[in-house]
Amino acid sequence: MFQVGQSLGDYAILQELGKGGFGQVYKVEHTITGRREAMKVLSAGNSDATEQIERFLREIRLQASLNHPNIALVHTAFWVNDDLALVCELLEGRSLQRLLDEGPVSQERAIGVIAQVLDALSYAHARGIVHRDISPGNIFLTEGGIVKIIDFGLAKAATDLRLTREGAPVGAAHYMSPEQIRGARDLDARTDVYSCGVVLYELLAGKKPFEGDDAFTIMKAHIEQAPPSPVAANPQISQELSAILLRALAKRPEERFQSADAFLQAIKNASMVPATASAPRSRRSLGRPVLIAACATLAILIGILVAAVVTRPGNAQSPSAKSFAVPAPPAAVTPDAEVPPREAAATPSVATKTARKAKTRQPSIPGKPISGAALVEPTEPESPAQPESKEQQAPDTATPANAAAEVKPRNPVVKVLKRMNPFQQKRSTSPNDEPKN
């Protein structure tokens, strides 16, 4: 349309930056100030020229009324014959689409980009202006890291994935809201919220939420299908950010964030912990209770083992044995192995007599308890024990009663009772010690 070196008013064309169905974009220089700027020229040589020019004029006035660091500034506009030219600030850098061609970006960078876009949209929405065409191609990343929205509210050139039919809503099919696809006339800020959600999804997941071979398939998916989980596409996305993103992509406008600022505040406050880090964190959080339970179980087991060792049979020093060291009835006293066989097999009357004699010979020692056997008084007259010859005693040593008497008691309780009973104290006896008539 115009050639490099050609002058348009006070501007000299330095370079062609791009072209589309509506016209061309040039890098120009103001011949008086020397400032380099960008010039967009809308061609009037197509069938929709009248409608396009009217829309272009309206959007030029809207964008020229905005002054925000994240919106490309409009400097001036003028006619060149039948063509309309718009002059705005020249941006050095690359479009967001170029960045997306390299793959997904980190959560921090994605949020940093979309936060600047949402801040600019919030500023425009407060002044009644809806962009309606938010897409990576309309978001520019300057070399200084500043994000700029360009072509604010302008209908873009048609491609195989753009709406070109007369009367259809303007916008890229991949980034249009469901109500915009249906051709709603009362679009508001929530349609830009949806488009920003699609851009953020692509930044984080590395792909668009809906794909298709043509614009119709993609638009149908925006209306009917739920977007895939961002975490499924990229596990490095946090669960909280994924939920925020899905809310921005709600089909019904009333279910989305109701403003760009609400969307902005949500992503600023979202946790950045990747979904893949949630499982290890949960396991670590469960480690402390499990360790405490294991220690408690181990302590119980140690207590059981200690109790078993202390109370096992044969341990004369165990507390359990001492706790049962109470006076026992005479019948429970086991004769000592050193007691003569005749005494071990004696009848109850003889045992009572022997106990009385032992009490007479061995008075109780202060501080020592006296067993019940030592205090039993006979209730019947006792007959004197008859001495027996050694020949008569010999056979008794082989009887079962004597054999049992020779077995050393193993019960610790009995041992304690024996020590406490004066009758059971060891003494040197012989058959000659028997009382004589």
DSSP per residue over 18-53, as a string? Answer: EEETTEEEEEEEETTT--EEEEEEE---STTHHHHH
The per-residue DSSP string of 292-304 comes to HHHHHHHHHHHHH
The whole-angstrom separation of Cα 30 and Cα 231 is: 49
What positions carry a catalytic annotation?
A: 133
Q: Which of 191, 167, 149, 209 is nearest to 55 (CA)?
A: 167
Which of helix, strand or coil describes residue 141?
strand
Residue 316 makes CB contacts below 8 A (sequence gap 6+) with 412, 415, 416
Backbone angles phi, psi at 171, to 5 degrees: 150, 165
Neighbours of 386 (CB within 10 A): 8
Contact 135, 177 (CB under 8 A): no
Q: How many residues does the chain have?
A: 437
Both tokens assigned to 286:
């469960």
CB 235 within 8 A of CB 275: yes
Q: Give the closest residue to 248 by CA, choosing from 293, 203, 279, 284.
A: 203
